[in-house]
Structure 1
Amino acid sequence: MRRRDFLKWQISGALWLAAGAGLPAGASIFPPLAGEARAASAQSGGSPDIVVAKGSPAAATHACVGMLGGMGRFVKTGQKVVIKPNMSFAADATMGTNTHPEVVAALVRMCRDAGAASVLVLDNPLAPAEQCIERSGVRAACSEFGDIVQAPTAERFYRELEIAGAAQMTANTFLRDALEADVLIAAPTAKSHSSTGVSLGLKGMMGLIRQRGVMHSRYDLDTAIVDLNTRLRAALTVIDGTYVLTTGGPGGPGKVLQENTVIASADPVAADACAVESFEWYGRRFAARQVSHIRLAHERGLGSMDLAARAIARVTL
């Protein structure tokens, strides 16, 4: 990244922090690690590719989206938005299995402020639906916006659809609201997974289909995850790393590290790659290429896992 581009981010970030949403005094922006960020010439002087913010869940979420250009970059007036968090388990955010409710509420508020006609928060839960949306805290956090937090399980909420260009999984049953949305936002928690190593934005799209079992039994799971993401592509990925479930995922219990971090990008592969390399997993560090579905998504052109070639901005609040 050229020095003048980083200085632009420092200035714009400082202005955003000074003006933005009542953030705490003393908030500061610091540069990416040496060699970490390389801005492509086509993006010279623009927004960063990835933002990593440390702070409280809501403030860090606002900072990430703000430094990417604001929610208006992703959501236009009159559009239908679906936000896909993790809320599949009857547990609070400290367990690391569900997205922090303050992250979800912050995203809903920003979408509404950007002029969205409707915003739905959806997940197909693995435990009883009402228990999940209540104990996760997501329903309560979003209650001011109406009955927008839903966990549909009945067949009538889904529609079978072919997946063009799939490598293996050529069809599945998708949540109708997700198919009809103008904008899809992935808002996963960062957690480990017994079958795929980690569960982040790409893996989290499985919560928008009904027939998840076939992805485990009929196909190579990592390949099927990439097939799914060719049909359900998030315009924005916001990864909640407040409480990172580093072992025992996806349902826990396991070792939880309180990282107080949010990672966001318009590139779903880059967001997941950054989360893999930002946190400890199973007591050690991993490279993004070691996660099969991230590597396959990169190879199939869904985004880039090459963090050395991405412009990464970091902010501490």
Structure 2
Amino acid sequence: MDNRILARFLLDLESFMKRPFSRREYLLFQSKAGLLLAAGASGFLLPSPLKALDVPDIGIAVGGPGPATRAAVDLLGGMKAFVKQGQSVVIKPNMSFTGGVDDATNTNPEVVRELVAMCNEAGASRVRVLDNPLRPSELCIESFREACSLFDDDVVHALTNKAFFREVSIPGAETLKKTEIMRDVLESDVLIAAPVAKSHGSTGVSLSMKGMMGLILNRTVMHWRYDLHTAIVDLCRVLQPRLVVIDGTRVLSSGGPGGPGTVLKENTVIASRDMVAADAQAVSMFTWYGQKMEPRQVKHIRIAHERGLGRMDIEHLTRKKIQV
């Protein structure tokens, strides 16, 4: 109950401060604030909600791939804030290409390995790393299997056969009304998006929202039958990760998604509960095609914000950045 009371008060406060108000409204609001403070002082409201306010909307860590990944997630409360004992987890990185780390077309395997380790530490019953690669699948996932070899052999998979997918309807979709999604994803308790930050010829950038296309069987239809940006937002109505971790250790600033292109060594990992906010942070933070961009310039980010899937107004969100 205490969490809901405090959250409601903060929402009221934000709304109150944004508009003109009468003296009567001011006195009424002042009395509510006094009651809240009195309840807190008497112990009716526990201090845990106040501690929760220290957790940022976006965590940013600068450092090596593994340490920065752990640090960024720790800023949000650690993996135990997202994965509970006994839950099954699917991690979705970019594993569609055969290039190495320096090409920045795939997520850095060290980022993925750290996420798997953190999920196991949190008590996950099963962790799977999945993608539907664009290139020969075994070559695409080879480095990821090697990185995760210290875990169970059943961790990293490239799923391309129709038998591994199930058709689902997408409530509230504007264009993409149904699609076939990996069964493992639909049956898992937790989905974690772990894209590499890279450019894309059709969408400007490829981050967590665009990366959800790697969990469906037929992504071609999204390119040619529908407006791609709108279809991406439709897909994200049914595929909403609990945690987003963007690998910005190397950023494919141009020439994406498959390269070759300009690769920037940013040594940065971004984490958030909000996939729209995470993508917006990456767009704003890095250089794309030799210039700076605003989140609203990426159509699917703007549409997702407008449709309430998340927030691109990162200037109004709490962000914390650390060096590791």
Task: Please give the TM-score of this superposition, normalised by the length of structure 2.
Answer: 0.83
Specify the alignment match of 1:293 in structure 2.
300
Structure with more helix by fraction: 2
Specify the alignment match of 1:316 in structure 2.
323
* Partner Cα separation in structure 1 for residue 191 and residue 300 of structure 2: 20
Specify the alignment match of 1:144 in structure 2.
150
With CA pairs under 8 Å and 6+ residues apart, which has the higher RCO, 1 or 2?
1
1:68-112 Cα shifts (integer Å, max 9, x gaps): 001000000111100000010011121010000110000000000
Specify the alignment match of 1:51 in structure 2.
59
* Partner Cα separation in structure 2 for residue 44 and residue 67 of structure 1: 11
Specify the alignment match of 1:26 in structure 2.
none
1:222-279 Cα shifts (integer Å, max 9, x gaps): 0000000000100000000011000000000000011100000001100000000110
Specify the alignment match of 1:72 in structure 2.
80
Question: Which has the higher Rg, Structure 1 or Structure 2?
Answer: 2
- SS of residue in 1 equivalent to 2:309: coil
Specify the alignment match of 1:8 in structure 2.
none
Specify the alignment match of 1:158 in structure 2.
165
* Partner Cα separation in structure 1 for residue 52 and residue 318 of structure 2: 10
Structure 1 outlier segments of 4+, above 4 Å: 41-44
Please report how far the alpha carbon of residue 45 of structure 1 lies from its aligned counterpart in structure 2 after TM superposition: 2.9
1:125 correspondence with 2:161: no
Please report how far the alpha carbon of residue 139 of structure 1 lies from its aligned counterpart in structure 2 after TM superposition: 1.0
Please report how far the alpha carbon of residue 307 of structure 1 lies from its aligned counterpart in structure 2 after TM superposition: 0.8
Give the counterpart of 1:244 among 248, 251, 273.
Answer: 251
Look up the equivalent residue of 2:194 and give its one-letter code: A
Q: 1:1-317 maps to which residues of 2 (within 5 A)?
A: 45-134=53-142, 137-147=143-153, 148-317=155-324
Look up the equivalent residue of 2:303 and give its one-letter code: L
* Partner Cα separation in structure 1 for residue 262 and residue 51 of structure 2: 39
Look up the equivalent residue of 1:68 and give its one-letter code: L
Please report how far the alpha carbon of residue 46 of structure 1 lies from its aligned counterpart in structure 2 after TM superposition: 2.9
* Partner Cα separation in structure 1 for residue 315 and residue 100 of structure 2: 35
* Partner Cα separation in structure 2 for residue 310 and residue 43 of structure 1: 17
CA 1:43–1:297: 2 relative to 1, 3 Å: farther
* Partner Cα separation in structure 1 for residue 186 and residue 53 of structure 2: 34
* Partner Cα separation in structure 2 for residue 254 and residue 51 of structure 1: 27
* Partner Cα separation in structure 2 for residue 43 and residue 159 of structure 1: 41
- SS of residue in 2 equivalent to 1:261: strand
- SS of residue in 1 equivalent to 2:163: helix
* Partner Cα separation in structure 1 for residue 274 and residue 50 of structure 2: 15
Please report how far the alpha carbon of residue 42 of structure 1 lies from its aligned counterpart in structure 2 after TM superposition: 8.9
Task: Please give the TM-score of this superposition, normalised by the length of structure 1.
Answer: 0.85
Look up the equivalent residue of 2:320 and give its one-letter code: A
Identical counterparts, % of pairs: 59
Please report how far the alpha carbon of residue 146 of structure 1 lies from its aligned counterpart in structure 2 after TM superposition: 1.8
* Partner Cα separation in structure 2 for residue 44 and residue 149 of structure 1: 34
Look up the equivalent residue of 2:103 and give its one-letter code: M
Look up the equivalent residue of 1:74 and give its one-letter code: F
* Partner Cα separation in structure 1 for residue 321 and residue 204 of structure 2: 25
* Backbone CA RMSD of aligned residues: 1.2
* Partner Cα separation in structure 2 for residue 161 and residue 43 of structure 1: 39
Query: What are structure 1's unaligned runs of at least 5 residues?
Result: 1-40
Please report how far the alpha carbon of residue 145 of structure 1 lies from its aligned counterpart in structure 2 after TM superposition: 1.1
Please report how far the alpha carbon of residue 44 of structure 1 lies from its aligned counterpart in structure 2 after TM superposition: 6.9
- SS of residue in 2 equivalent to 1:257: strand
How many residues matched?
Answer: 275
* Partner Cα separation in structure 2 for residue 306 and residue 42 of structure 1: 23
* Partner Cα separation in structure 1 for residue 209 and residue 53 of structure 2: 28
